[in-house]
Amino acid sequence: MRKAAIKTIMAAGYLDIIKGNEREIATIYGETSTQQKGVDSTSTLSPAEKATLVSKLAARERNVVVMTGATDYVSDGRRTFSVANGHEYLGVVTGTGCVLGTVISAMVTVFPEDKLAAAVAGLLLFEVAAETAAVRQDVEGPGTFQAAFVDELWKLRRATTAGDWRWLSVAKVTAIDVAEVEV
| Residue 181 located in a structural domain | no
Q: Which residues does 161 contact at the CB level (< 8 Å), separation at least 6?
A: none
Catalytic residue list: 98
Give the separation between CA 89 and CA 144, rounded to whole angstroms: 10
Cβ atoms within 10 Å, residue 99: 17
The answer to whether position 183 is within a domain reads no
- pTM for this structure? 0.90
CATH of the domain at 12: 3.40.1190.20
What local confidence, expressed as pLDDT, does residue 39 receive?
46
For residue 162, tell me if it sits in a domain: yes
Residue-level pLDDT at 139: 98
What is the torsional sign of CA 142, 146, 149, 151?
negative
Can you list the residues of the chain whose pLDDT is less than 50?
Answer: 36, 38-40
Looking at residue 11, its pLDDT comes to 83
pLDDT of residue 180: 57
- HEC letters along 2-67: HHHHHHHHHHCCCCCEEEEEHHHHHHHHCCCCCCCCCCCCCCCCCHHHHHHHHHHHHHHHCCEEEE
The parent domain of residue 104 ranges over 2-176
CA dihedral defined by 65, 68, 71, 77, rounded to 10 degrees? -10
Inside any domain, residue 67: yes
Domain count, the chain: 1
